[in-house]
Amino acid sequence: MPRGDFVMGDSSGDRNHADGEVPLHEVRISRFSIDATPVTNADFERFVADTGYRTEAELFGFSAVFHLAVQADDEDVMGKVPGTPWWLGVRGADWRRPGGPRSDLDELGEHPVVHVSWNDAVAYCAWAGRRLPTEAEWEYASRGGLVRKKYPWGDEEVDEHGWRANIWQGEFPSRNTLEDGWLTTAPVRSFVPNGYGLWQTVGNVWEWCADRFDPNYYRLSPDVDPPGPSRGSGRVLRGGSYLCHSSYCNRYRNSARSSNTPDSSMGNAGFRTVASAI
C-alpha cells in the first residue's frame, strides 16, 4: 500500500452507533504490504503441517457454527448462543471441520480459513513473518483509494448491477435465496477486487485486526498510524461476513467495526496479514 492520508469513519450515515464509527478523522498511514486475500484453508494447512499448531477451537473442543451450516450429529450440538440463536455451539467444529464433525475441507482449499481466534491468527502471523493489520491500515486498504465511500467499489449497493460481495440474501436467519451463489464462505478470489487489488474486504468473513476495541477511541486517536487503544479485552473485527444483511447486520462496509474476545472462534471469521514497509 502506498503511504497516504484518508478520512476514517462512517461518511454515509449507516453507522451502528454503539460501534464508534465517528467522529470522522483524517489519518496518515505509512507504507505497508497487505495480502490480496484472506488467509485460505490451504495456507493455514501449510502452517499447521510445518508447526503442529492446534487452534483454540481444537483445544476447547467446540466452536460456533451457523445453524444452517451445521454438519453434526444431534449429540454434538451443544445449544444456542444466548442472544444470537442462529449460532450453535458444536463439538468438533474447527478449521478442518467448519460445519462440525461430519464436514471437511474438500473443495474448500481456496476458501478463507474460519474457526480461528485472534490468538490463532497471531500465531500464524509469527510463523509467516508478518502481522495483523491495524484497524486504520485495514480501512485504508479496504477503501482502495476511494474517498469517503461506503464500499470498496463506491456507494452502489451490493446487488446493484450484479452481486459485488458475499452477504445474506432473503430472510435472515431462516432462508437464504443464494442469489450470490453461497450459503457460507466463497472462494477468496470471488467477485471483483478493489482499486488496490484486494479481494472481498467486505462480506465473506470478518477479519481480525491487531487493535483492542474501544467505541470511543476515535475521539482520542492519533492522526499518524494509530495503533489502537492500550486497554480493552476485545479485539477488532472488520468487514462483515456472509451473514450480514441490511435487516440485521449492515456491517459489510468500509467503516464498520465489531469485536470479540481474542480466544473466540466462529464459522464466519478469518484474517489477512500485513508487513511494514522497509
What are the tens digits of pLDDT across the range 3-12?
A: 999 999 999 9
- The answer to whether residues 200 and 166 touch, using CB atoms and an 8 Å cutoff, is yes
Kindly state which CATH superfamily the domain 4-32+116-276 is placed in. Answer: paralog of FGE (formylglycine-generating enzyme) (3.90.1580.10)
Amino acid 17 reads H
Strand 257-260's sheet: what is its strand order? Answer: 257-260, 235-238, 206-212, 269-270
Please give the backbone phi and psi of residue 57, each rounded to the nearest 5 degrees, phi first.
-60, -40
| Cis before 173? omega within 30 | yes
230: its cell numbers: 492500550
* Helix ranges, 65-134 (H): 118-128
Widest CA span in the chain: 53
pLDDT of residue 246: 86
Strand partners, 4: 29
11 and 146 Cβ atoms separated by less than 8 Å: no
What are the residue ranges in the chain where pLDDT is below 50? none
AA identity, residue 167: I
**Residue 126: half-sphere exposure toward Cβ, Cα within 13 Å:** 9
Domain positions in the chain? 4-32+116-276
| pLDDT tens digits along 53-106 | 999 999 999 999 999 999 999 999 999 988 899 999 999 999 999 999 999 999
Provide the pLDDT for residue 89: 97
Which residue(s) pair with 233 in the sheet?
A: none
pLDDT at 278: 66
Question: Is residue 212 within 8 Å of residue 229, measured between CB atoms?
Answer: yes
Around 64, how many Cα atoms within 13 Å sit in the side-chain half-sphere?
16
Q: Give the separation between CA 65 and CA 94, rounded to whole angstroms.
A: 9
Q: What is the pLDDT of residue 143?
A: 98
Three-state secondary structure call for residue 163: coil
Q: Is this structure's pTM higher than 0.95?
A: yes
State the virtual CA torsion across 168, 106, 259, 58 in degrees, nearest 10.
Answer: 140
d(CA 243, CA 82) in angstroms, rounded, equals 17
Decide: 208 and 237 in contact? Cβ < 8 Å.
Answer: yes
Q: Match 514497509 to its residue by C-alpha cell.
A: 277
